[in-house]
Amino acid sequence: MIRFGTNPIAWANDDDQSLGADIPTGRILEEAGRLIGFDGIENGHRWPQDDPEALRALLAGYGLAFISGWHSLNLLAHSVEDEKRAIQPHLDKLKHNGCTVAITCETSNSVQGLAKPLSARPVLDAAGMRDFGAKVEEIAAYSAAQGIDLVYHHHMGTVVQSPEDIDAFMAATGPATKLLFDAGHCYFGGGDPEAVLKKHIGRVRHFHAKNVRPAVRAQVEAEGWSFMDGVRGGVFTVPGDQEGAIDFAPLLKILAANGYDGWIVIEAEQDPAVRNPLMYQTLGLATLKRIARETGLI
């Protein structure tokens, strides 16, 4: 069953918490749940972090399910056993809330939150990627044994950014490791979202519907902006925004043709003082539902 969700970073950013700092938590949940009508929402720094039941109750009060949440992996710096211990409280929270996927990404050497140009991001050689992939697969198997699919988030500023990185990572992992396909990060990283999704659809268990403004992306590259400079500058937007470059119809058609039955989540961080979250998220959800009906996904 397809369910549609969002991420609170449209209202209150996790990496730059000055973005949306003035927006009350209740407003975020009211707009996402009761006004826009999302089925669920991902994790954010405003939610209870150490009490899974408090988290469930908070979101349920607004008609929202807890979808999943980001967990930072540090496998390039720590042992697999250390990482198993680190991820266990996160898995416990997910299980308590009936989640089916754990969103992960290697951040030990990422530049995504630093004041560095994206060109400074880390790159693994072939041997390094094989070793990294083997470690991720161990964590994925550990998670799968508890009923949770590990979905790896390819992400700007990290060791899995470009379409070539995604191919190498997918070849170095499996079958326990699944993919979080993010249309925006795929495009931003130099990939053709339709081609990349088609290639890896067999292992896609989570879908982020993020759009990209190509004019801002070009500025990020030309001027050596950091990832967060790009976010603050408006590089990301929602499906349906005419400034965005990504056509979501072919992507949802691929999901439909392959029996995808997970979450479709609008994760499109922007400065809420510049681009109203209620307006943009409403546009994004309406666009995705229209395309989903047209493609037979729902």
Compute the distance between CA of residue 171 and CA of residue 163 in angstroms, rounded to an integer. Answer: 12
Residue 180, domain extent: 3-295
191 alpha carbon, distance to own chain's centre:
16
Confirm if 23 and 11 have CB atoms less than 8 A apart.
yes
Report how many domains make up the chain: 1
Evaluate if pTM is beyond 0.85.
yes
Strand pairing class (70-73; 101-106):
parallel
119 burial (CB, 10 Å; 0-12 / 13-18 / 19+) is: exposed
Angle of CA points 142, 123, 139, to nearest 5°: 0
Torsion of CA 32, 38, 39, 44, to 10 degrees: -40
CATH label of the domain that carries residue 210: 3.20.20.150
Which pLDDT tens digits describe the chain residue by residue (298 residues)? 999 999 999 999 999 999 999 999 999 999 999 999 999 999 999 999 999 999 999 999 999 999 999 999 999 999 999 999 999 999 999 999 999 999 999 999 999 999 999 999 999 999 999 999 999 999 999 999 999 999 999 999 999 999 999 999 999 999 999 999 999 999 999 999 999 999 999 999 999 999 999 999 999 999 999 999 999 999 999 999 999 999 999 999 999 999 999 999 999 999 999 999 999 999 999 999 999 999 999 9
Compute the distance between CA of residue 105 and CA of residue 166 in angstroms, rounded to an integer. Answer: 12
